[in-house]
């Protein structure tokens, strides 16, 4: 399993890009909030370790992962952040709805990266069950929110 072999959740604080001059946005889905709040906490810790100023750390909530695309788009247009992290947790149910939500969100976030000159980081867990989500949001496989924040910082300063 890819995650078992590659865990970016352990990071070197001294190697993080300096966030003192950066504005980072985070859009958080309220579905599976136990998971998304853990992901947010992981991301928040990294950004604070990197020295982000409170006024430059923006958080908006949206109802579900499908709304992450619009939420990130509106945040970009309103605040022009240096990077945006989209946080969600999609857990498979009985129907094909899981597949449609996951595909739409992944494609939509990819499109935002192309449409705007701002990195939009895909921190959306797509799991078959709650345990898989727990394992990747502060459990045995680390925290994808932590990883996403490291990626956001690196992409925000890319080419500088």
Ligand X SMILES: Nc1c(NC[C@H](O)[C@H](O)[C@H](O)CO)[nH]c(=O)[nH]c1=O
- Residues with a catalytic annotation lie at 97
Is 98 assigned a ligand-binding role in the annotation? Answer: no
Choose from ligand X, ligand LTPLIIQW, none: what does 79 bind? Cβ within 5-8 Å by kind: none
Cβ–Cβ under 8 Å, residues 156 and 24: yes
By C-beta, is 55 or 93 nearer to ligand LTPLIIQW?
A: 93
Q: Which two tokens stand for residue 74?
A: 């509106």
Q: Which of residues 17-56 bind ligand LTPLIIQW (CB under 6 A)?
A: none
Give the count of residues interacting with ligand X (CB under 6 A).
Answer: 13
DSSP-based three-state secondary structure for 146 = helix
Which is nearest to 108 in space by CA: 73, 78, 139? 73
Is 57 assigned a ligand-binding role in the annotation? Answer: no
Q: Build a one-symbol-per-residue string for 34-73: x at contacts with ligand X by CB under 6 A, - elsewhere.
A: -----------------------------xxxxx------
DSSP-based three-state secondary structure for 149 = helix
DSSP notation for 80-143: --SEEEEEEEEE--SSTHHHHHHHHHHHHHHHHHHHSSS-EEEEEEEESSHHHHHHTEEETTEE
Is 95 assigned a ligand-binding role in the annotation? Answer: yes
**Site for ligand X contains 90 (CB under 6 A):** yes
Q: Which of residues 77-136 bind ligand LTPLIIQW (CB under 6 A)?
A: 90-91, 93-95, 97-98, 101
Among 17, 23, 32, 146, binds ligand X (CB under 6 A): 32
Q: Which residues of 53-71 are buried (b: 16+ CB within 10 A; e: fewer)?
A: eeebbeebebeebbbbbeb
Is 66 assigned a ligand-binding role in the annotation? Answer: yes
Using CB under 6 A as the criterion, which residues of the chain lie in contact with ligand LTPLIIQW when the complex forms? Answer: 90-91, 93-95, 97-98, 101
């Amino acid at each position: 399993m890819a995650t078992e072999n590659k865990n970016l959740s352990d990071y070197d604080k001294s190697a993080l890009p300096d966030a003192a001059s950066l504005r980072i946005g985070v859009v958080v889905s309220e579905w599976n909030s136990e998971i998304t709040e853990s992901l947010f906490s992981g991301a928040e810790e990294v950004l604070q370790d990197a020295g982000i100023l409170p006024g430059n750390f923006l958080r908006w909530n949206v109802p579900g992962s499908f709304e992450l695309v619009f939420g990130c788009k509106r945040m970009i247009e309103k605040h022009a952040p240096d990077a945006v992290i989209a946080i969600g947790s999609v857990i498979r149910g009985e129907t094909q709805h899981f597949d449609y939500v996951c595909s739409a969100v992944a494609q939509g976030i990819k499109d935002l990266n192309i449409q705007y000159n701002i990195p939009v980081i895909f921190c959306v867990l797509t799991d078959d069950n709650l345990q898989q989500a727990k394992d990747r949001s502060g459990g045995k496989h680390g925290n994808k929110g932590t990883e996403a924040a490291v990626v956001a910082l690196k992409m925000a300063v890319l080419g500088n």
